[in-house]
Amino acid sequence: MKICVFGAGAIGGHIAARLARGGSDVSLVARGAHLAAIQRDGLTVHAHDGTHHSRPKASADPADLGPQDAVIVTVKAPALPSVAAAIAPLLREDTPVAFVMNGIPWWYFDRHGGPHDGLRLPEVDPGDALRDAVGIHRTIGGCVYSATEVLAPGVVKSEHGNIRVILGEIDGRITPRVQAISAALEAGGFPSPVSPDIRTEIWLKLLGNLGNGPLCVLTRRGVRDTYLDPLLRDAARRSAEEGRAIAAAHGRPLPDSAVERVANASMAHKPSILQDLELGRPMEIDGILTTTLHLARIAGVATPQLDLLTALVKQAARAAGLYPDIAPAG
């Protein structure tokens, strides 16, 4: 199976290495020092089950890679406009595109049903760029659990063995195309269940992002160190509870255990939103936080803590030059 991973950062690199290990014909869209290292030395991933080295074809220009059997997009939300502008050479009419990302996806209300069916989310797809470039008919949803970081250009570390990529059609069908991508991942040792309700899976992952991401940005510490303060652990629980209320209001009730999982997290890992702040890269503020609050307002759900934390995270990002300044009144 010919699969391109669009976005060869930590997550994208890990996914690409697993696909290569499973025998797929893998290519990568990457850039900068990471791209140069992969082209020169290949891709190395240190994981719980050993070190995996591969030499996937890699380019900054998708036209060099050609049409694919499937594309897996692993960029962060701020990079989605660049994906929309560049992805066309990878696509045939029947090429599925799996968006394996954090946050509320741009397609969330498509084929959703109910009063908000088809609602656009401009925070994550300005000007419908992805909708026009990829199309709903090609789109597959996804979320990933894999605490990873780039150790050096071309070298990725996965911190533990509790990894999985969850995939699902946005209309809930179990189709041959989503099963084929899942099988390619599993062949390389990356568990990839196919869900008939990918939106619930996205909310379950998002609760963790809401619970620990803003707090870790403000403390500049990883999850375990941030949660050493019981007040902050309780704050993470309250953020997850607010997220759970938004999910329920949109027809995705989550169990109590989903909140407790967030509050009881003990990994040392720094969330990717904090890694981006420290490295001076665009942060996933709108995909994870702003769009979630948009959904809260649509449903009439009060989110006092997430409102405050989002405002503080935006100010921290503005101070680092990573988020637009507030326009002056008048």
Instruction: Give the CA angle between residues 180, 61, 186 to the nearest 5°.
Output: 20
For the chain, helix, strand, coil in percent to 5 are 45, 15, 35
Interatomic CA distance for residues 76 and 85, integer angstroms: 15
Burial of 67 (C-beta count, 10 Å sphere; 0-12/13-18/19+)? middle
76 is catalytic: no
194 DSSP 8-state letter = B
Which of 35, 70, 43, 107 is CA-nearest to residue 192?
70
Interatomic CA distance for residues 149 and 156, integer angstroms: 6
Compute the Cα dihedral for 232, 234, 235, 241 and give only its sign: positive
State the CB neighbour count (10 A cutoff) for residue 109: 22
188 Cα distance to chain centroid: 20
- Please compute, for residue 87, the number of CA atoms within 13 A of its CA located in the half-sphere on the CB side: 33
Catalytic residue among 2, 57, 157, 205: 205
328 DSSP 8-state letter = P
Cα 51 to Cα 11, 46, 138, 250, 311: the distances in Å are 15, 4, 33, 42, 41
Give me 176's structure tokens: 């041959």
- Catalytic sites, residue numbers: 205
